[in-house]
């Protein structure tokens, strides 16, 4: 048996701050535990000292495999001082302390513990697939490398164990991040008439973007799509006409908005000659809460936590954007022990009781899946 709280503590002690990542040792530990429990395990490299893990158990039954996913990289510590050592992984009362406690080494530990615990009873009736990714926080790089290697396969259902405080979330918005580069001609700052000022072009483009309308109704649960210009850089020094400026645009979308079309609308809205580069392009996720599997998971979750059912969605995006289309579009729920409000925060922690609860929830989800197989 693997204790999910102890495993969370162990995982936190690996410094997997991304960038640079360095998830390799943490991935190797998990791969070792899963191999020992009978899983067929593959490490999928992602550059120097970095790796994701794909682990499979059991044989395909009437149903496609049940998949769980989580990432083992964490975000940087930030500039504020922490009141404890960020990689200590210590228990303080009910709290497991450290970077990644909520987002989301607790979630990984819980599904690994659940899958190992259920291996003997469920493994001969259904197939379980675990996708433990590196490089999620910088844009799902690990999930993409798994998909490029063709190791994800199809899934009948997917649980994304990101922080939701053990409430099943039925989706999240998509994200389209664009960089626009505007070019001009440099000249001495005392003779601006000889140049062509790229910062002026960027400023005009940004003002037009501030007035962008998506022209769609908001989704009843996910809400309205959004646009935010997150950065504007241009010019090298005060006394030159800048010949280059860059704008970064963060678009969050809902089902029904085609990203390729949106990109062209953004280009038109800027009404300036700009090179448009896509930084990330991740579709949104949506599973109808009344669909059969989502309803059963909600029932299982309520039974374990005692909390009433609620239809909620995540504000963040996840590896599901990459994995869901690649796995044949399975129903997908985001469900994990971390506190969503503590993700990326100073003094991050996760409740030990929540980790135990989510392990029980995942065990019950596996048992339910095996029953239907
Ligand atoms: Zn996360």
Alpha helices in 216-281 (DSSP H): 259-270
- State the distance from the centre of ligand 1 to the C-alpha of 272, rounded, in angstroms: 36
pLDDT digits (tens, 9 = 90+) for 67-125: 999 999 999 999 999 999 999 999 999 999 999 999 999 999 999 999 999 999 998 88
Q: For residue 255, is pLDDT > 90?
A: no
Sign of CA dihedral 273, 278, 279, 283: positive
Q: So what's the pLDDT on residue 317?
A: 85
pLDDT digits (tens, 9 = 90+) for 184-195: 999 999 999 999
- State the distance from the centre of ligand 1 to the C-alpha of 29, rounded, in angstroms: 20
Percent over 70 (pLDDT), the chain? 100
* DSSP character at residue 350: E
- State the distance from the centre of ligand 1 to the C-alpha of 107, rounded, in angstroms: 9
Q: For residue 59, is pLDDT > 90?
A: no
Q: So what's the pLDDT on residue 257?
A: 94
CA distance to 180, 219, 226, 253, 280, per residue, from 250 (Å): 11, 19, 8, 10, 9
Percent over 90 (pLDDT), the chain? 94
When pLDDT is cut at 50, 70 and 90, the band that residue 372 belongs to is confident
When pLDDT is cut at 50, 70 and 90, the band that residue 19 belongs to is very high
Q: So what's the pLDDT on residue 373?
A: 66
**Mean of pLDDT values over 148-174:** 97
**Mean of pLDDT values over 155-183:** 97
pLDDT digits (tens, 9 = 90+) for 288-346: 999 999 999 999 999 999 999 999 999 888 999 999 999 999 999 999 999 999 999 99
- Please state, in angstroms and rounded to a whole number, the distance separating the CA atoms of residues 248 and 240: 23
Burial of 275 (0-12, 13-18, 19+ CB in 10 A): exposed
Q: For residue 15, is pLDDT > 70?
A: yes
Q: So what's the pLDDT on residue 139?
A: 87
- State the distance from the centre of ligand 1 to the C-alpha of 103, rounded, in angstroms: 5
**What is the pTM assigned to this prediction?**
0.89
Q: So what's the pLDDT on residue 61?
A: 72
Q: So what's the pLDDT on residue 327?
A: 98
Q: So what's the pLDDT on residue 7?
A: 98
- State the distance from the centre of ligand 1 to the C-alpha of 318, rounded, in angstroms: 7
- State the distance from the centre of ligand 1 to the C-alpha of 126, rounded, in angstroms: 28
Residues designated as active site: 73, 137
Would you list the DSSP string of 270-338? H-S-EEEEEEEEE--EE--TTSHHHHHHHHHHHHHH-PPP--EEESS--THHHHHHHTT---EEE--SS
Residue 16 backbone dihedrals phi, psi, to 5 degrees: -115, 35
**Mean of pLDDT values over 223-243:** 96
Among 327, 348, 229, which residue's Cα sits nearest to residue 285?
Answer: 327
């Amino acid at each position: 048996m693997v204790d999910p709280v102890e495993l969370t503590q162990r995982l936190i002690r690996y410094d997997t701050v991304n960038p640079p990542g360095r998830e390799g040792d943490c991935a190797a530990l998990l791969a070792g535990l899963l191999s020992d429990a009978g899983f067929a395990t593959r490490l999928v490299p992602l550059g120097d000292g970095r790796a994701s893990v794909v682990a499979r158990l059991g044989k395909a039954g009437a149903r496609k495999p049940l998949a769980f996913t989580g990432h083992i990289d964490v975000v940087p510590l930030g500039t504020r001082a922490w009141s404890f050592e960020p990689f200590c992984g210590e228990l303080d009362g009910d709290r497991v302390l450290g970077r990644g406690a909520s987002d989301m080494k607790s979630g990984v530990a819980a599904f690994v513990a659940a899958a190992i615990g259920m291996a003997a009873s469920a493994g001969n009736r259904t197939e379980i697939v675990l996708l433990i990714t590196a490089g999620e926080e910088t844009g799902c790089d690990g999930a993409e490398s798994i998909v490029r290697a063709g190791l994800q396969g199809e899934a009948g259902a997917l649980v994304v164990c990101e922080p939701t405080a053990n409430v099943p979330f039925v989706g999240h918005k998509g994200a389209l991040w664009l960089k626009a580069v505007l070019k001009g001609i440099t000249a001495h700052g005392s003779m601006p008439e000889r140049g062509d000022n790229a910062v002026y072009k960027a400023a005009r483009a940004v003002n037009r973007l501030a007035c962008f309308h998506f022209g769609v109704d908001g989704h009843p649960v996910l809400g309205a799509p959004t646009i935010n210009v997150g950065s504007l850089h241009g010019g090298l020094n005060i006394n030159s006409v800048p010949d280059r400026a860059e704008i970064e645009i963060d678009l969050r979308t809902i089902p029904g908005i085609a990203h390729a079309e949106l990109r062209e609308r953004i280009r038109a809205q800027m009404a300036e000659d700009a090179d448009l580069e896509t930084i990330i392009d991740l579709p949104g996720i949506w599973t109808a809460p009344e669909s059969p599997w989502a309803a059963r998971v909600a029932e299982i979750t309520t039974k374990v936590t005692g909390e009433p059912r609620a239809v909620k969605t995540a504000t963040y995006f996840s590896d599901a954007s990459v994995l869901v289309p690649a796995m044949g579009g399975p129903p997908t729920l985001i469900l994990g022990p971390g506190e969503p409000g503590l993700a990326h925060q100073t003094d991050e922690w996760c409740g030990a009781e929540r980790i135990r609860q989510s392990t029980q929830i995942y065990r019950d989800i596996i048992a339910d899946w095996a029953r239907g197989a």
